[in-house]
Structure 1
Amino acid sequence: MGTPEFAVEPLRCLIKGGYNVVGVITMPDKPAGRGHKIQYSPVKEFALENNLPLLQPEKLKEETFIEALREWKADLQIVVAFRMLPEVVWDMPRLGTFNLHASLLPQYRGAAPINWAVINGDTETGITTFFLQHEIDTGEVIQQVSVPIEETDNVGTVHDKLMVLGGKLVIETVDAILQGTVKAMPQDKMAVQGELRPAPKIFKDTCRINWRQSAKSVYNFIRGLSPYPAAWAEWVSPADESMVVKIFDSEKIIEEHRFEPGTIRTDGKSFIHVAVVDGFLAIKELQLPGKKRLKTDELLRGFKLTNHFYMKVD
């Protein structure tokens, strides 16, 4: 059971490993983009390419779906980046249902664990397999693998590292369950450094940059949302016209100054620096509405930016 690209790799590993995948469950198709064309999830595309039986229930408690699921007679269910399951679904297989989660549980329970680990400046994250139970992301842990987060990593690079390792960990977990060697551990018995941090779903307003912070905090925020859904800010022209700009890459400049946070410093040709409380953020890659994502010098060749522009600060 899964929807995004992150869930395809474990499915690919199961097929490649010769496991008997009796069916795949993914989200219903939905319109996307400007033309509102129907778009299949990455998991559906992979399932169709490999001729795997497929279900796309609107509601997970629908009797027709429950009956179809029972008919598959699955011994084990695997969930990767899907929806919260009702007990009638996760309790159905004789060997249970386990989830692959992109954090070192119990840290970062929730919908966006990779984003929040990078936003918070963590130097380590990982993946966890655990048995499902009633409360989301709280089940007994089966296995974990840790991964370093480099200073230059963004969500995209961490996602890809965890995706590859996730496929391997799912196979190891399946084998351990089949061999009866699993010694699952309750999460409240696990050693945790520092306080537990949540990983709530990210919305558009979540992605707005607060320039009244340190350079490090803003830098981590930008890379924690890059390449998707992308941090954004409003820059304001001398004519008091505002425009939303997405920022994908930046660099910290620690420097004493007397500028207000959000002040823009630029030569109009090669650099854009935005003032923060302890220095500046050099914007390296950005995107204006309706335009392509560009490096700063590329954008400045076609857009006249001056020091009279500024970033809006609420």
Structure 2
Amino acid sequence: MKNNNFIFFGTPDYAVHTLESLKLSGFLPSLIVCSPDAKVGRKQILTAPPAKLFALQNNMPILQPTKIDQATVDGILKYAPAYAVVAAYGKILPNILLDAVPYGFLNVHPSLLPKYRGPAPEIAPILNGDTKTGVTIILLDQLVDHGPILAQEEIVLNGNEFSHDLAKNLFEIGGKMLVNIIPKWLEGKINSTDQDHTQATLTYKTKKLDAKINLSDDPKILWAKWRAYYPWPGLYFEIDNPHQTKLGAKPPSKLHVKINKAIFADNQFTPTLVTPEGKKPITFTEFKKAHKI
């Protein structure tokens, strides 16, 4: 195989699944580029991203730029990569960098492009009740998930997948695909194919408000949302809060209730454990009895 010196761009645990697949076949990057350490949780503890931990465990150089400026580009190019792999990096890479790497940037995208471009391709097929999804390897260009396709692999969905687990699986598949694709790409044995941009659909960054539900909604929709938004942002609902409502107040104050656990059986979606705002978790049965719902 030609020069296998490459750089990896990726940050979360999804990226590590791609890295692990590559590592199993002897593909180890000369540099890992990931996001800076970030404050996490209520105590705001400064925490290293999973890709950084992988790099440290494997004695690999790390770069954690806050932005891809000229100094960052220079720092990357000093490693003289033949190509780069991108998996869940989350930043737009400038043309000055894309054009400087001989065999380009191979991006792992967890959908069957051009369907589900954007930041939430693992959530959309669950919400939409799709029976299949997959992984696409594309060459990055300056637009989001727009570049030509090098390979695709399809998987069947059974209707019980959770988005986080689905994403892990897809990025692991993407790593295995790269092991097969990279040698052929470097040897000129793969031709890229332009996406049909007229068929492109977009996904959007998940917000906490997306996970707000009404318990009277269609149970199948609730089950899909539960699987799509678990563990974050996590489904929640609101009820009138008589303890906070003043006589005559309009609208009444609401009690925010997070759903911790739920089941779907006999075509019914049923929370089993909930956490009212400011309280400890209780069973949904106890909650209904206390609030007479």
Q: Return the TM-score normalized by structure 2.
A: 0.84
8 Å Cα contact 2:118-2:204 kept in structure 1: yes
Distance 1:242 1:140 in 2: 49
Change in 2 beyond 3 A, CA 1:225/1:48: same
Paired residue type of 1:230: G
Match of 1:267 in 2: none
8 Å Cα contact 1:116-1:199 kept in structure 2: yes
1:249 aligned to which of 248, 259, 262: 262
Match of 2:231 in 1: 227
Distance 2:137 2:262 in 1: 32
Q: Does 2:283 match 1:299? A: yes
Change in 2 beyond 3 A, CA 1:244/1:48: same
Q: Deviations over 1:58-108 (max 9, x none)?
A: 111x22211111101000011101112111122221011111011110110
Q: Does 2:109 match 1:101? A: yes
Distance 1:308 1:12 in 2: 48
Distance 1:285 1:131 in 2: 45
Change in 2 beyond 3 A, CA 1:284/1:300: closer
Match of 2:86 in 1: 79
Where do 1:120-139 residues align within 5 Å?
A: 120-139=128-147
Q: Deviations over 1:211-240 (max 9, x none)?
A: 564322222122111222212211335545
1:38 aligned to which of 40, 46, 68: 46
Change in 2 beyond 3 A, CA 1:49/1:304: same
Distance 2:184 2:235 in 1: 40
Q: Does 2:79 match 1:66? A: no
Change in 2 beyond 3 A, CA 1:54/1:304: closer
What is the CA distance between 1:163 and its match in structure 2? 3.0
Distance 2:287 2:129 in 1: 34
Match of 2:59 in 1: 51
Q: Does 2:36 match 1:28? A: yes
What is the CA distance between 1:161 and its match in structure 2? 2.3
State the secondary structure of the residue aligned to 1:217: helix
What is the CA distance between 1:53 and its match in structure 2? 0.8
Change in 2 beyond 3 A, CA 1:31/1:162: same
What is the CA distance between 1:131 and its match in structure 2? 0.4
Distance 2:217 2:236 in 1: 15
Unaligned stretches of 5+ residues in structure 1: 255-279
Q: Over aligned residue pairs, what C-alpha RMSD do you find? A: 2.5
Distance 1:121 1:72 in 2: 44
Change in 2 beyond 3 A, CA 1:88/1:285: farther
8 Å Cα contact 1:236-1:309 kept in structure 2: no
2:270 aligned to which of 278, 282, 300: 282
Distance 1:109 1:91 in 2: 22
State the secondary structure of the residue aligned to 1:234: strand
Distance 2:279 2:96 in 1: 47
8 Å Cα contact 1:25-1:55 kept in structure 2: yes
8 Å Cα contact 1:100-1:127 kept in structure 2: yes
Distance 1:148 1:52 in 2: 36
Match of 1:188 in 2: 196
Match of 1:161 in 2: 169
Match of 1:261 in 2: none
Q: Comparing 203-212 with 88-97, which one deviates more in the overlay?
A: 203-212
8 Å Cα contact 1:127-1:166 kept in structure 2: yes
Q: Does 2:157 match 1:149? A: yes
What is the CA distance between 1:307 and its match in structure 2? 8.2
Paired residue type of 1:245: V
Distance 2:277 2:184 in 1: 50
Distance 1:127 1:160 in 2: 11
Distance 1:124 1:200 in 2: 20
8 Å Cα contact 2:272-2:284 kept in structure 1: no
Paired residue type of 1:102: P
Distance 1:96 1:304 in 2: 56
